[in-house]
Structures are given as structure tokens and as C-alpha cells.
Amino acid sequence: MIRVQEEDFDLGAELAALTRGKTSVGGLAVFVGLVRDMAGGDAVKAMTLEHYPAMTEAMLERIDAEAKQRWPLEDTLIVHRVGRLLPGEQIVLVACTSAHRQAAFDGCQFLIDWLKTKAPFWKLEDGPIGAKWVEARASDDEAAKRWKTKTDAG
């Protein structure tokens, strides 16, 4: 399931819903991204997440479908927040359940790596000298590359 929302999410409730009554699940892997109070040496007062709603939904659905095709996952969950967030707040949740631990881990890493390089979200950081659009990081491109397959169009 994918969801984009302004409001915060209840991590415990989201994860409980993923595994409740699913006795075929042996492992749950989860990643939560949070707003840090520092970025590149500068204090961050707040962060505003903008997105391109129609494309976000299309891309997240595709990323999700790709993960389910590559690994034997029981369920997946992507929740991404938009709007203004303060340091310490949750930005994104990705979670995978599977009969097997490695599939859950790989699916989870794949989802967040691809989301970070493909889903149309942009972060505006409110720092000491005003608001600044966050620049994409080469390390995120590198992380996404390890999931590249020969048939992967981009």
C-alpha cells in the first residue's frame, strides 16, 4: 500500500496492521526517515516537502510493484509525508513483510533507495540564512544503482 499525507503516522499501528493475523510472515523489515536538526553543518529549523501528486502516486505504485516482482514479499507499505515538518518528525516509512528475512530486508532497502531517486518529492530546508532547496546527493544515486537490472529502463 502507498500513501502520501500531511499528517503524521502512528508507526506502531502501521506495523501492527502489516503483520496482524498473517502467520505466514517470518520477518518484517522497516525504515523510517526523520527530519534531522542539522544538514551539511547548518542548523535546520524546519523542512517543507513539496511533491507532484499525480506523478508521485504513479511512481510509488511502480516502485512498489517492482519490489513485489523482485522479491517474495507478503506485503509492502510506503507512507510519505508532505508539507512543513520540524526536526525529529517522521518523513517516510517503508516496510516489507516476507516469509524470509533477507527478502524483507532487500525489499525494504530497494523501496527507500528507489523512492529517493525516482519519486518526485523535493525538500526545502529552513536554515540560518533562510530557505534553501536541498540538493540531490550522489550517494543516493549510487545506492539506487545497486538495484539496477539489465532490463531496467531507468
Partner 1 sequence: MKLLYFAWLKTKTGISEEEITPPEDVTTVGALLEWLKARSPGHGDALADLGAVRVAVNHEYADHKDPVSPDDEVALFPPVTGG
Query: Given the rule CB under 8 A, which residues bind a second copy?
Result: 10-13, 15-16, 19, 21-38, 87-88, 99, 101-102, 104-105, 108-109, 112, 139, 143
Q: What is the DSSP letter of 22?
A: -
Q: How far is the CB of 120 from partner 1 (least distance, A)?
A: 5
**Which one, 20 or 148, has the nearer CB to a second copy?**
20
Quote the least distance from Cβ 8 to a second copy, whole Å.
12
Cβ-defined contacts of 51-55 (< 8 Å, 24+): 51/4, 51/80, 51/82, 51/119, 51/120, 51/121, 51/122, 52/120, 53/4, 55/120
Provide, rounded to whole angstroms, the least separation between the CB of residue 99 and a second copy.
Answer: 6
Which residues form the interface with partner 1 (CB under 8 A)? 33, 49-52, 54-55, 58-59, 80, 91-92, 112, 115-124, 133-137, 140, 154
Answer for the pair 124, 133: CB distance below 8 angstroms, yes or no: yes
Instruction: Report d(CA 92, CA 30) in Å as an integer.
Output: 11
Residue 137 amino acid letter: R
Whose Cβ is closer to a second copy: residue 27's or residue 120's? 27
